[in-house]
Structure 1
Amino acid sequence: MTPTRLRLLKVLGYVGAWFVLSLLVAATIFVNSERTIDVASHEASLGPDFSGEIVLRTGPVLPDLRMPSGSRLGLEIELGKTDTESLDELTARYAAIASQPEGQVAAVERSVRSMAYAALLQGAALGTVPLLLWAAVGRERRRDLVHRLPTRRGLLVTGGVLVLVAAVAVPAGWGRTEASEERWQSLRDFVGPEVPLPDEVTDVQVMADATTDQSRRLIESAISSYRQGLEFYSAAADDAAGLDLRQPEDGETVTVLVSDRHDNVGMDKVARAIADRAGATTVFDAGDDTSTGSHWEAFSLDSVAAAFDDFEGRWAVAGNHDNGSFVRAHLEKLGWTYFDDEVVEGPGGSRLLGVDDPRSSGLGNWRDEKGLSFAEVADRVTEAACAADADGERPGTILVHDAKLGAGALEKGCVDLVIGGHIHVQSGPTAVAGENGETGYTYTVGTTGGAAYAIAIGTKLRRPASIALITYRDERPVGIQSITLQTNGRYDVDDWVELTY
């Protein structure tokens, strides 16, 4: 064998050893890592393993659940604190979230991937340590150590090294060992044959011990709510495929507008189905995705983000119920565009201006200014729109939660279209003649979540749900079509209204 081949084999040997060591160390770090995120309206901790099962630890009242993960990877999710005021409210949340789980699944997957990437990086670094030590010892010293192996001291050292290697090579969480007192039974056996179960939960198991009649009743109630919600919203999404909606022509871009979802994640699949039917590729969110802006409502933000995660453009503003900075920060992290007192590129190359509702705390660059009134923020919007118009960058659209914030810009003729929500009732599109002779329009979409008040979680709509489709051509909004889903599941589709200037 030539010296070159020997050197090559030696290099390959080092690389192979580094790769194996790195994977073993990474696996050990991975299964001993933990991440805290918001899951199902709880502060929850995630612990990965290689059991092939997903176990949900729900707390002292409701029974724990588990189901196959579909892979060698497993996960234990322990639910922590939440702000619910009753168990009935909590189970209603569970049912609503379970009927539209994509957002929560995506949030958990992101966290697990993040833990895996971090473990791989640490493993890659730590995997080089033994090789560096091997090289540092040198060939002569290694030969000397080999000669000393048969001695008592050599055997003790070798044994200690083998134990250490075994501890690293067999990660603690490689396979979860269930405590002897944990006994699992199928959800079918738990609730009894009289409760019809959807096909989606046939693989779910329930921990049988210490389960009271009250917790069993809650589980049955959640299953019933889950089934009713799933059937209603799934049927609505399926029916959307047959709606008579205007289709975009060459050179046109369609944007779907949602607002005032108020945690109703069931409507997200419906909005996406309508968007697909109309050929929409971008989305506006006019705010009030939550009822309080709290961390426990991350499930609502994860859901709408998952529903439109492959769209070309996603723009949003915070509503008055999206209190604090959490809603904006969370959706920005998921790739949504918010506004900072400047015009940005919008759908179809149009120009877009937006601002968060001043009754929440998110006000773009104005957030540092305390005590700004609604009227003062409206004046800022007017100034920004008219300044852009004067510079030849006329905004095609102003996206706000309450369309009144853009009324001043319309009156001065500085914008083509102002869109919002907030009042839970559809209004417009209505033409407004500007002081400069330019015509603009104002349009308010109803509540996409079908919310009567500040929350819309439930097995069906509390009031009609509204969605709008806005068509852009030649960098301007040129038409709007409104769609309303009634509480009985019937669709009302308005004619496409052309916007002329």
Structure 2
Amino acid sequence: MDEQAPHTHGGWGVRIVLAILAVVISLGVGVTTATAQASFGPHEARYEMTTNGLVVLDLGPLGTLEIDSPLPAGLGLDIVVEEIPASFTEVDDATTLQALNGDLERYVQLFSAPQATVEQVTKALVADALGRAALMLVVLVAGWWLGRLLLGATRRAELANALALHRWRVGVALGLALLLGLLSSSLDPSARPQEVRVASSVFDGSALEGARVTGRLGGVIDTYGAQALAAYRENQEFYAAADKALGQAWDERLTAQPLPTRTPDAADLVTVVVVSDLHCNVGMAPLVTTLVERADAQAVLDAGDTTMNGTGVEQYCVSTFADAIPDGVELVTSPGNHDSEETSAKYAAAGATVLAGKVVDVDGIRVLGDSDPNQTRAGQGTASRGESAQDAGERLEQVACDDEDGVDLLLIHTPDVGTAALESDCVPAQVSGHLHRRYDARQVGLGIRYISSSTAGATLGEATIGPLHGTAELTVLRWDPDRRRFLDYRVVAVHPDTSVDVGPRRPWPVIVVPPTTRPPAGTGGPNLPT
């Protein structure tokens, strides 16, 4: 017994080593073979992990663009760019050279916020790698037990006795052989013979400095790359200047004489920032962050049309806007006619609360909203989602009137959808967008309606991506939780010359009930001032 004990312990030791090696090998296989299907700007793309130490952007017949991979252990990534989905087109046809130039600017701008795409691809690759690793581990374990079953107890005992004195050597040798086979392709790329490729000078001074280009793509980049990078840098510089101007304008406004109105203690108020009709202009994302931080807002209300055409590749738009909201600040959206169920689901996955016909509590403000009853798609026009605007408005009115705790705000993209609710005395306030033009707060029925202009600076016939072609607006609202009503609002305007105007606080109108329609005492709506 004393002589067999070491062999018993040695057998368990070998098994533990082999189990660890099985896990390591499974993870190695999972990582080095992981693939993902995701977007690359406006394109669909296939991402594949490699072991050549390069990040290779494959544009098919045009050629490739290569840069040294920042990943460890010789890992690299192949990005095979596929077609642009047929549904991903602009609302206006590119029928002139000016429009074509605008398309170039829009395409370049799609890459100005790569963080969302990187995060999306990373999550997809990690999930695929774990799945492949789990499958490989199952195969190894199944192979182990199948081998034991085929050998039988007697034969296993004979082999165990024959190898008893060499178990550790056999186990280690087997593990090393498997690891060497797995990692043999992960040698330092510099140690392999490679075709000498000269880095393109177009990328000097950019994040792609040192990139090597092959095929026809080299000629395209040499010819048009400088123009594309110039457009990209112009875009970055524009929004950086606008963001700086916003901070300065806000500070200057705070030092100005405040409005002579009686207000509750500011610490007791809830501040919200309203954005609308962003239309994928991710350049405005840093300005949203700055305003939320400067205003010390507790929530952001997105009145819809966050995307241009509601396609899957526009996930990076909603992800970028969601990431722009500081931690601890709620993001609530009422999808517009240019949004879709797919982009709304992506928005929700990124952290937004997507209104769906029910009342939600936003820092004490009871908000009701839903997706726009219509959908607008490029080349198809506008069509109903299955419910007319009137029916949607009446449904929301009924939800508001049936809510025992009352509704404080109706957040809906198209203003007219909220008319029935405002006239019913069940909704005291409405915030909308859609018209790309601001209409200051005014009474409609028995409630107050405010219509936000476009936060993307959207103007007719002009791109909403790239430097602003029109004035972009954001609104800061303050809510009094004790009186359950909005107190005031402030408009922040960002102009095409990067200047910013921070307007004064404007009092939120008080609802005036005509004497002929005032209900008997005790029967009015829950939020109607008396």
TM-score category of the 2 structures, normalised to the smaller one? 0.7 to 0.9
1:28 match: secondary structure: helix
Unpaired stretches in structure 2, ≥5 consecutive residues: 95-99, 164-170, 256-264, 378-383, 511-528
Question: For the structure 1 residues 214 and 207, does the alpha-carbon distance in structure 2 shift closer, same or farther, using more than 3 Å as the test?
Answer: closer
Change (3 A) 1:223 1:332: same
What is the rounded CA distance, in whole Å, between the counterparts of 2:277 and 2:423 in structure 1?
26
Q: Deviations over 1:455-489 (max 9, x none)?
A: 73544101011112233342654332221100001
The counterpart of 2:365, out of the listed 347, 350, 364, is: 350
Matched residue, 1:469: 476
Q: In structure 2, how many angstroms separate the alpha carbons of the residues matched to 1:234 and 1:288?
A: 24
Aligned length: 470
Bigger mean CA offset, 284-293 vs 240-249: 240-249
Contact 1:40 1:93 in 2 (8 A): no
1:77-131 deviations in whole A, cap 9, x for unaligned?
A: 1111014788866643442133222222222222222223323433454453455
1:66 is matched with 67
Residue 409 of structure 1, CA deviation: 1.5
What amino acid sits opposite 1:61 in the alignment? L
What pairs up with 1:52-91 in 2 under 5 angstroms? 52-61=53-62, 63-69=64-70, 71-72=72-73, 73-82=75-84, 83=86, 91=104
State the partner residue of 2:525: none
Counterpart CA distance in 1 for 2:63 and 2:414 is 41
Instruction: Quote the Cα distance in structure 2 between the aligned partners of 1:246 and 1:432.
Output: 32
Q: How does 1:208-223 map to 2 (within 5 A)?
A: 208-211=214-217, 213-223=219-229
Q: Which amino acid aligns with 1:420?
A: S
**Paired position in structure 2 for 1:128:** 141
Measure, in 2, the Cα distance between the counterparts of 1:381 and 1:178.
67
Partner of 1:241: 247
Once the two structures are TM-superposed, the CA of residue 355 in structure 1 deviates from its matched residue by 1.2
Partner of 2:522: none
In the alignment, the residues of structure 2 paired with residue 65 and residue 454 of structure 1 have an alpha-carbon distance, to the nearest angstrom, of 37
Write the distance in 2 (CA, Å) between the matches of 1:190 and 1:417.
53
Of structures 1 and 2, the larger Rg is shown by: 2
The one-letter code matched in structure 2 to 1:357 is D
- What does 1:187-336 align with in structure 2 at a 5 Å threshold? 187=200, 189-190=201-202, 199-201=205-207, 203-211=209-217, 213-242=219-248, 243-244=250-251, 249-308=266-325, 310-322=327-339, 324-336=340-352
The answer for the alignment partner of 1:417 in structure 2 is 429
Cα 1:134–1:472 shift into 2, 3 Å: farther
Distance 1:240 1:131 in 2: 65
Quick one: structure 1 residues 146 and 208, their matched pair in 2 at CA, closer, same or farther if it must change by over 3 Å? same
1:288·1:318 contact (CA, 8 Å) conserved in 2?
yes
State the superposition RMSD in angstroms: 3.9
Q: Post-superposition shift, 1:54?
A: 2.7
Paired residue for 1:99?
Answer: 112
Distance 2:195 2:55 in 1: 15
Distance 1:399 1:214 in 2: 47
| Cα displacement string for residues 254-293 of structure 1 (whole angstroms, at most 9, x for unaligned residues) | 3222211112111111111211111124222211122222
SS class of match (1:99)? coil
Deviation at 1:205, TM superposition (A): 0.4
Q: Distance in 1 between matches of 2:119 and 2:43?
A: 16
Q: How far is the alpha carbon of 1:212 from its aligned partner? A: 5.7
Alignment match, 1:494 = 503
- Look up the match of 2:155: 141
> Residues 214, 428 of structure 1: CA spacing in aligned structure 2 closer, same or farther, 3 A cutoff?
same
| 2:455 alignment partner, one of 421, 427, 448 | 448
In structure 2, how many angstroms separate the alpha carbons of the residues matched to 1:239 and 1:15?
A: 62
1:372 — aligned with what?
387
Deviation (angstroms), 1:415: 1.8
Deviates more, 1:488-497 or 1:330-339: 330-339
3-state DSSP of counterpart to 2:124:
helix
Q: Give the 4+ runs in structure 1 shifted more than 6 A.
A: 1-10, 84-87, 146-149, 161-164, 173-181, 245-248
In structure 2, do the counterparts of structure 1 residues 56 and 464 end up closer, same or farther at CA, with 3 Å as the change threshold? Answer: same
What does the per-residue CA deviation read over 1:337-369, in whole Å, with 9 as the maximum and x for residues that have no partner?
2233221222x122111111111299xxxxxx9
Distance 1:478 1:342, change over 3 A: same
In 2: Cα distance, 1:415 partner to 1:5 partner: 81
Please state how far the C-alpha of 1:493 moved relative to its aligned partner. Answer: 0.9
Residues 54, 441 of structure 1: CA spacing in aligned structure 2 closer, same or farther, 3 A cutoff? farther
> Does the CA-based 8 Å contact 2:62-2:215 persist in structure 1?
no
Is residue 426 of structure 1 aligned with residue 438 of structure 2? yes
Letter in 2 for 1:76: D
Q: Secondary structure at the match of 1:241?
A: helix
Match of 1:28 in 2: 29
Conservation of the 8 A alpha-carbon contact between 2:245 and 2:499: no
Cα 1:468–1:118, aligned 2, differ >3 Å: closer, same or farther? farther
- List per-residue Cα deviations over 1:9-30 (Å, max 9, x = no partner): 8666544432221121222133
User: Please, what TM-score do these two structures have when normalized by structure 2?
Assistant: 0.77
Task: Say whether 1:115 aligns with 2:122.
Answer: no
Superposition pairs of residues 150-165 of structure 1, within 5 angstroms:
165=178
Distance 1:5 1:144, change over 3 A: closer
Q: Which runs of 5+ in 1 are unaligned?
A: 150-157, 192-196, 363-368, 435-439
C-alpha distance in 2 between matches for 1:478 and 1:377: 28
| SS of the residue 1:230 aligns to | helix
Equivalents in 2 of 1:210, 1:384: separation in Å?
60
Kept in 2: contact 1:91–1:221 (CA 8 A): no
Percent identity over the alignment?
22
Distance 2:486 2:3 in 1: 73
Q: Measured at CA, do residues 287 and 182 of structure 1 come closer, stay the same or move farther in structure 2, by a change above 3 Å?
A: farther
| Residue number in structure 1 paired with 2:20 | 19
User: In 2, distance between residues paired with 1:9 and 1:453?
Assistant: 78
Which SS does the other structure have where 2:437 is aligned? coil
In 2 relative to 1, CA 454–22 (structure 1 residues): closer, same or farther, beyond 3 Å? farther
